[in-house]
Amino acid sequence: MLRTLASFLKSATAMSSPPPTSTVAKRVPIPKHGVDYRGKVVLAPMVRSGELPSRLLALKYGADLVWGPETIDRSIIGSTRKFNPTTSTIDYTRTSQSQLALPPEMRTESTLYSIHPALESKHLIFQLGTASPTLAVQAAQLIAADVAGIDVNAGCPKPFSTAGGMGAALLKTPDLLCAILEALVANISPVFHIGISVKIRLLHDPADTEALVRRLVRTGITALTVHCRTTPMRPRERAIRDQLRMIVAICHDAGVACVVNGDVADRAHALALMAEYGADGAMIATAAEKNPSVFRPVADGGVLPWRVVAAEYIRTAMRVGNKWGNTKYLLQQIVPGKERAYKDLMPCRCYAAAVEVLRGHAGDGDVGGNGDVVGEADVQLAAQTDALLGIPYGRASESKTEKKARIKDTRAEYKRVAAAYALSKGEGEGEGEGGEEVDVQEDGGEEQVARYGDDTQQQHHAKRPSVSKEAEAEAEAEDKKAGGEAKVNISPEQDSTSTNSTNSTSEHIDKKIKLPPLPASSDAATAAGMQSIAV
């Protein structure tokens, strides 16, 4: 009898109780060509350290996704998309205005962005610097077919970004930031089937952060990355995570993935932070700049010695024809400042010289116990790369005074040629003769144009004072056009295949923007000329 009564009461209680709440988390739909940010440990967008060889090496060591360096909307608009059969890369290039003063056969192009489609396009997120919904869409249109996602930078605190209303300045203009995201979601996601995301910083008042995040997750984005510092905070200041749980909860309520950034040391630390705060992913910056093998799981041996990483980095850089100045700068991030190899790298002016240095400092037992980190094949590859980039080995011993004199002479010759070219066209004195300096592009003319990196990634200024001033100068010589190059004026003399697309700078647009039809997402040259490289 008692058993029957107990059974009845249990049954009645079950009938009167509400059904159990579903434990399945809400998730926004992931576009078919996009990526799900959940469970991912990713490479942060870094100026210099986010270039192609760094991204490829991070992927090789286990990064789930990689961000390229922030690229300003105006700098990519008007660029030309080309397939490079030598490196199997897709390069976005542009001829600078001053180069147009030269005869066509003397002009050189700047490479704005390089992508290796076979190795990274399904894992690459393109970070966009913008303060205009119209320009954001026009820029994203040009590159969306080659990447797995578009990310809007709303966290860079540097004046060159905030002065233009971009980066962290967008945190103070939430209406504009939301308009940019909504425009990208409405015009890019349905056409290219990739997701839109945003990267922000904390606001000083948690209530303001909460209000902003609640608005952002309603724009249609698939992910939000939060750098756990406020705008005034410097990289040397410890990241603060007291608002992180609140941000994660808001994102999850909307079905948006939340990625944590700031002082993430390696994969194990990333996974621990994700577990502690409930974040969906974690982004590594400075630690990956110093040693990309931080993405390796502990089960696979974890972080590798610097000699192995430096050898793999320079090998990867040579295979994709990376700009020498950028390669040297990154080598001096990877090689510890206390090591003799670091000092020996300082005078190097070419790949061949750097390979000799690394080969001479190979440590016993670093690779299979034979110590041959850099081999004869790398010596040959270095010579080929220097030839490809037009870097004479003899320049390795060139002094600063000699280099300055050489550049001065070259610039004077360019001016003379520009003036003669203008006269031949009946235009009188050319721009070069009239006082405007003509670009003198080092190392074969493949000049890298700056893209305003997120301050999260510019930590080398505070963290690595040991980087030689010379290496810093060489890298900045490649990056120096940060402000001026963002304003692009394309000449009609440029190749007719240019993807030049914009004249509009309207401050307000409808959510659905009317834009011209796009070229095919992939061309026959890309399909026929694709050659995978081993990295």
| 8 Å CB contact between 250 and 225 | no
| Exposure of 137 in the CB half-sphere (CA atoms within 13 A) | 30
| Distance (Å, whole) CA 467 – CA 482 | 21
How large is the C-alpha radius of gyration of the chain?
A: 25
Helix, strand or coil, per DSSP, at residue 71: strand
- CA 294 to chain CA centroid, nearest Å: 18
Q: Give phi and psi for 154, each to the nearest 5.
A: -125, 35
Helix, strand or coil, per DSSP, at residue 289: helix
- Spatial CB neighbours of 382, under 8 Å, sequence gap ≥ 6: 318, 350, 351, 352, 354, 355
- Burial label, 152 (beta-carbon count in 10 A; 0-12, 13-18, 19+): buried
Dihedral class, residue 444 (left if φ above 0, else alpha if ψ from -120 to 50, else beta): left
Helix, strand or coil, per DSSP, at residue 262: coil
156 in catalytic set: yes
| Distance (Å, whole) CA 101 – CA 334 | 40
Q: Give phi and psi for 471, each to the nearest 5.
A: -65, -40
- Spatial CB neighbours of 390, under 8 Å, sequence gap ≥ 6: 443, 444, 445
- The residues assigned a catalytic role are 156
